Amino acid sequence: MLYVWKNNTTVITHNQVACRQEQYFRNANSFVPERWLFRKASIDGSTKNESSDKWNKPSPFLVLPFGFGPRKCIGRQFAEMEIYVCLAKLLRNFQVEYHGEDIETVTRLINVADKPMRFTFIDTDE
């Protein structure tokens, strides 16, 4: 499929649409966060591909939140590291619980929860 765009055309993709295509993911409309884990670490620290199955290797160009090429976000690695460190500290220091109602998503420019999500953080040091 070939698209021709005029100069200065702004193109915006919607990740929810792209990520719910059966051509990219088996059971594309199901909640399967593991689909984003490209490699699995073994006990010795090495990594290996789970499978050569095309559904285990989504295209690296399917979702580009930080852009690509010479104009990509220069803060990508910093932002990703901040997310990992923040999550690691939260999960190390707290037990996180959610006892609320089931959450549905509402699609705007991005997906948001349809109601407030109230989590309980229990300090693991106590």
Q: Cα(126)–Cα(113) distance, rounded to whole angstroms?
A: 31
Provide the b/e sequence for 65-78 (b: ≥16 CB within 10 Å): eeeeeeeeeeeeee
73 is in an annotated binding site: yes
pTM: 0.60
Q: Provide the token pair at 2.
A: 């070939």
What pLDDT is stored for residue 38 in this prediction?
60
Q: How confident is the model at residue 122 (pLDDT cuts 50, 70, 90)?
A: very high
